[in-house]
Amino acid sequence: MKIKQIIAGLFMAMTPLITLAGGLPDDPLLAMFKADKLEQRDSDEGALTVWEFYAWVGKDLNKLWVKSSGEKLLDEIESNEIDIVYSRAITPFWDVQMGLRHDFKSETGKDWAGVGFMGLAPYLFEVDANLFIDQDSVLNARLDAEYEYLFSRKVILIPNMELSLYSEDDNARGFVSGLSKAEFGLRLHYEIRRELSPYIGLSYEKQFGNEVLVENVETNLLLGLSFWF
What would the 3-class secondary structure string for the chain be? CCHHHHHHHHHHHCHHHHHHHCCCCCCCCEEEEEEEEEEEEEECCEEEEEEEEEEEEECCCEEEEEEEEEEEECCEEEEEEEEEEEEEEEECCEEEEEEEEEECCCCCCEEEEEEEEEEEEHHHEEEEEEEEEECCCCEEEEEEEECCEECCCCEEEEEEEEEEEECCCECCCCECCEEEEEEEEEEEEECCECCEEEEEEEEEEEECCCCCCCCEEEEEEEEEEEEEC
Which are the contacts of 148, defined by CB distance < 8 A and separation ≥ 6? 124, 126, 156, 157, 158
Q: Would you say the C-alpha torsion 103, 206, 197, 49 has a positive or negative sign?
A: negative
pTM (predicted TM-score)? 0.87
pLDDT on residue 7 = 53
**Residues linked to residue 160 through DSSP beta bridges, in sequence order:** 146, 185
Q: Residue 168: what residue type? A: E
Instruction: Read off the pLDDT of each residue in 214-227 and give the average, rounded to a whole number.
Output: 95
Choice among 15-19, 148-152, 157-161 with the minimum mean pLDDT? 15-19
pLDDT tier for residue 46 given thresholds of 50, 70 and 90: confident
pLDDT on residue 208 = 95
State which fold the 3-228 domain adopts. Porin (2.40.160)
User: pLDDT (tens digit, 9 = 90+) per residue, 126-140?
Assistant: 999 999 999 899 999
Q: Would you say the C-alpha torsion 160, 60, 194, 122 has a positive or negative sign?
A: negative
Give the whole-number percent of the chain exceeding pLDDT 70.
88
Q: Inform me whether the pLDDT recorded for 3 exceeds 80.
A: no
Name the residue among 64, 67, 61, 65 with its Cα closest to residue 88. 61
pLDDT on residue 207 = 94
Instruction: Read off the pLDDT of each residue in 115-125 and give the average, rounded to a whole number.
Output: 94
Q: Inform me whether the pLDDT recorded for 94 exceeds 50.
A: yes
Domains in the chain: boundaries:
3-228
Name the residue among 101, 96, 4, 20 with its Cα closest to residue 62. 20
Q: How far apart are CA 203 and CA 44, in angstroms?
A: 13
